[in-house]
Amino acid sequence: MKQMRQETLRRIISLVLLVVLIAVFTFTTDTFLSWDNITSMLRECGVVGILAIGITTCIITGGNNLSAGLMLGMVCMVFAHLYHYTALSLIAIILICLLAALAAGAFNGFAVAILQIPDFVATLSTGMVFQGITYILAIRNQYGSITSEMIKNPTMALLGGKLGNGIYYVTIAWVVISLIMQVFLKKTKMGTYIYAMGSNRKSAEYSGISFIKVKMVAFLISALCSFIGALFFLGRYGTNDVDSGSALSLQAISASVIGGAAFSGGRGDMIGTLIGVLFMQVLRNGVLKFNMTTAQQSIISGVIIVLMLVFDAYYNEFMQKRTARAAALAREKEGAGK
Amino acid sequence: MSEKNELLFEMRNIEKIFAHVHALDHVNFDVRKGEVHALLGENGAGKSTLIKILTGVYTKDGGQIFMDGKEIEINSRDDAADAGIAVIFQELSLVPTLSVYQNILLGKEQSRFGFISDRAEKQQIQELIDRYGFPVKATDIVETLSVAQKQMVEILKALAADAKLVIMDEPTASLSSRESELLYKIINQLRDRGVSIIYISHRLEEVFNLSDRITILRDGKNAGVVEKENIVPSEIVKMMIGKELSESTASRELHTSDAEVELAVKDLTHIGAYNHVSFEVKKGEVLVLTGLVGSGRTEVIRSIYGADPYDSGEIIFEGKVIKPSIKRSVANGFGLIPEDRRTQGFSPLLSVTGNVALTSYDKIAKGGFVNKKDEDALGRKAVELTDLRPANPNVKVGDLSGGNQQKAVLGKWLTRDLKVVLIDEPTVGIDIGAKDEIYNIIEGLAEQGVAVLMVSSDIAEVLRVAHRIIVMREGKIIKEFNHGVATQEDILLASSGFVDEKEAA
């Protein structure tokens, strides 16, 4: 019998978790399945979901990107700074922000691919750099919190808006980018190389695939996601608080893991991450309706993530041992038959 | 079909020197078109060095390589691949989460605007699979395949790259007999289609069935090239060992042959590793388990120590059945000198004292605090007992030579009151002078009445230290030799499959 792939089983588990959670909240509260609640949940998914797209890509290469959220914070702050203290046009500001994000992404890529620093450590430190820049550009507002100046621009505010019937633009962007990235990962050469590099770096390199190129591409994609996320973030809130970034990273990483991305690399995809983001959001939303605290909700998602990691760590080993035992028993029989 | 004796590949006067040691000394080796050519030799004879040179992992220090009559230089894996040389790795080189055809095409995908267009290739690969009757599908995901199937994918990869010369290094080591049969069939098909194969295996029987010619290496030199038709197995074994050595006989007489049994195992079985293994070790006796790598020897001693589980059978220590765990083993006076000392034997950043003390904190720590004086005394004692050099217990073990590192590992146990010591390949990578000292330490332990159970592949070593020798193959005990009766030939023939089990019983 053929063993079921880790991916397949993980997909089933995450879908079942999501469906169970939705079912529980639907039957225990009146408001969960209301149109308003659904659209607002999907809105909450948007920015985290967009970040998770980039982070999942990095995780598939066998790495990670802890700096994605902090990079988003930095881009917001660069935007606010330019908006208030220069006379640049909106287009110019957006372009500069894009360049800043790509430069930051290339910096991540440089640290990981060329300096060969492990992704975790590298992006932990680059994240600190991004946060430092965010602080430099930040101001203290009249309530005493360290934040950016309020951006009151009608074009930007549009990004925070919604289509007539209630679906927010950020939700649409999240789903569309996810689908584009899914096609990229599964149908293009670079997509295949991203999986190959994460799954077995040596063999990918022996096949002539460049480690540096693959890592660079992954971090640039992630930077692009941070940039797009930042625009939607500003569109909604008009401002950015210096501490929001790291929380976003952690939520996005959690969503990736719940969706099936494995830290060991080579596994995960955008559909899984989409499910993971939805799961995190439904949990949060439903729990709020139950008047559970954030602490309780953190514990639930933390425990689920640990279980997923344990599953990833042992599933393949377990299956291999089982196959080896079956083969050995068969060999015994063969021997006895002689 | 090509001319029968036409040469495809030739290596002339190949030399390779590692730190003043001649790993290969003017070795000649050639392969004909459509030939299965076996490469034989004991561990350290130079087989893998030769293979690494011809696949571009090492560069040669002298000699010439010819492919199709033209001289070529192989300085990298790419050079080897360009010349049409492919190696079937055990499983290293596949990407587990991609499909069979994706693995075969990896790095060579056809694409339009970055999008892969590989339908034609996928079909070609499926046709190739069907032509040879490989038991896989092009779309199977590699990680769901068995070891044997993965190996088939490696072979497919070589075929898809139009390899003229395919190297197989111990390809049947982890295959069942049915899977091996299939591999033999495929090898024969490849030969019929004009592909040449270099076949490396410890299993002489298999080598005899498959190969057309056999090249034998010994101590980095050519020991002979023979047509299979013209030779019998025992002659090959003689060539592998060297005549002058084959006279030396085992073994030392047990000085206390009436000693009591310290450790015994009965019908010990761990499915997939070893089957119904039974033996006894007396106080003061050195029992050596030998056989090929993968014959289950290491697994047996790891189970006895409690480092690995077992499925059935009994382990008896001083007359009582025990259920081993590492903690209980240490308390019972067991010691383990593991196979890979670098990863399992010592902590390179700790001093000799620090390493030695690791096994003895129960004795030198009071209420959780270490008594520094006792700890230092322990380090000095270890240095003294093993004659460790430099005779300074404060040196980091990572900075010592291989032999002295092993002495430090031995020191971890010598400083305790040992009853049973389990030793796995104690002298791999250790120079000859230090080897002797380690043998002396092992003999010294036995003289003090410690029961020594050792695993070794080095036949000269086995004959040097063993009172009794057990040969294992494929997880079973094949033959047992008492002191004074075994020769190198006997052991080699038994471990490579020329003694059948009935004869052993």
pLDDT confidence of residue B499: 61
CA distance B112 to chain A (A): 9
Interface-testing mutation among A9, A61, A183, A203, with chain B (most B C-beta atoms within 10 A): A203
Percentage with pLDDT > 90 across chain A = 60
Q: Is A187 on the interface with B (CB under 8 A)?
A: yes
Mean pLDDT of B261-269: 94
Record: contact B176-A188, CB cut-off 8 A: no
Of B352, B426, B363, B436, the closest CA to residue B396 belongs to: B352
- Tell me what the pLDDT averaged over chain A comes to: 89
- What are the domain boundaries of chain A? 6-337
Judge whether residue B255 has pLDDT over 70: no
Instruction: Identify the CA nearest to B133 among candidates B161, B166, B155.
Output: B155
Task: Judge: B141–A199 Cβ closer than 8 Å, yes or no.
Answer: no
Rounded Cα–Cα distance for residues B226 and B207 (Å): 12
Q: Chain B residue closest to A2 (CA)?
A: B144
Residue A266 above 60 pLDDT? yes
Closest Cα in chain A, distance from residue B458 (Å): 27
The answer to whether residues B322 and B423 belong to one domain is yes
| pLDDT band at A102; cut points 50, 70, 90 | very high
Question: For residue B364, what are its two tokens?
Answer: 């030198």
Nearest chain B Cα distance for residue A252, angstroms: 23
Length of chain A, please? Answer: 338
Please give the pLDDT value at position B256. Answer: 56
- Quick one: B357 and B469 in the same domain? no
Q: How far apart are CA B422 and CA A118, in angstroms?
A: 38
Interatomic CA distance for residues B333 and B462, integer angstroms: 24
Determine the pLDDT at residue A67: 96
Cβ pair A234, A240 in contact under 8 A = yes
Q: What is the CATH number of the domain that holds B489?
A: 3.40.50.300
Residues B384 and B477 in one domain: no
Q: Does some domain include residue B2?
A: no
Q: Cβ separation of A200 and B271 shorter than 8 Å?
A: no
Q: Do residue B176 and residue A196 have CB atoms under 8 angstroms apart? A: no
- The architecture that CATH gives domain A6-337 is Orthogonal Bundle (1.10)
Q: Is the pLDDT of residue B302 over 90?
A: yes
Chain A partners within 8 Å of B94 (Cβ): 200, 203
Residue B443 lies in a domain: no
Question: Do residues B17 and B39 both lie within one domain?
Answer: yes
Residue B123 lies in a domain: yes
- Mean pLDDT along residues A275-280: 94
Site from A206, A315, A319, A329 to mutate, B interface, most B CB atoms within 10 angstroms: A206
Same domain, B163 and B232: yes
- Answer yes or no: do B95 and A187 touch at CB < 8 A: no
Q: What is the CA radius of gyration of chain A?
A: 22
Query: Using a CB-CB distance cutoff of 8 angstroms, which residues of chain A are in contact with residue B116?
Result: 187-189, 192
Residues B92 and B167 in one domain: yes
Residues B313 and B384 in one domain: no
Residues 317-336 of chain A with CB under 8 A from chain B are 323-325, 327-332, 334-335
- The residue with greater pLDDT, A3 or B270, is B270
* CB-based contact B272 A330, cutoff 8 Å: no
| pTM attached to this predicted model | 0.81
Say if the Cβ atoms of B176 and A331 lie within 8 Å. Answer: yes
Residues B97, B221, single domain; the answer is yes
Question: Same domain for B425 and B389?
Answer: no
* pLDDT tens profile B368-424: 888 889 999 999 999 999 999 889 999 999 888 888 999 999 999 998 889 999 999
Residue B339 lies in a domain: no
Residue B254: the pLDDT is 58
A207 touches B at CB < 8 Å = yes
Most confident of the ranges A18-22, B399-403, B428-432:
A18-22
Range of the domain at B365: 344-416
Residue B249 pLDDT > 50: no
Residues B376 and B304 in one domain: no
Give yes or no: residues B154 and B185 share one domain: yes
pLDDT for position B119:
86
pLDDT of residue B504 exceeding 50 = no
Q: Are B353 and B394 in contact (CB under 8 A)?
A: yes
Q: Tell me: do B175 and B272 sit in the same domain.
A: no
Question: Does A323 contact B98 at a Cβ distance shorter than 8 Å?
Answer: no
CA distances from A178 to A53, A248, A271, B189 (A): 7, 17, 7, 47
Contact B272/A3, CB-based, under 8 Å? Answer: no
As a whole number of angstroms, the distance between CA B127 and CA B119 comes to 12
Number of domains into which chain B is organized: 3
pLDDT in tens, A168-202: 999 999 999 999 999 999 999 999 999 999 999 98
Q: What does the pLDDT look like over B70-127, one tens digit per residue?
A: 999 999 888 998 999 998 876 568 998 999 999 999 988 888 888 888 888 899 999 9
Residue in B94, B108, B176 nearest the CB of A200 = B94
Mean pLDDT of chain B: 87
Give A335's contacts in chain B (Cβ within 8 Å): 177
Token duo for residue A279:
């799961």
Q: Is residue B329, in this structure, part of any structural domain at all?
A: yes
Residue among B338, B335, B332 at smallest CA distance from B319? B332
Q: Are A195 and B98 in contact (CB under 8 A)?
A: yes
Chain A, nearest residue to B141 by Cα:
A5
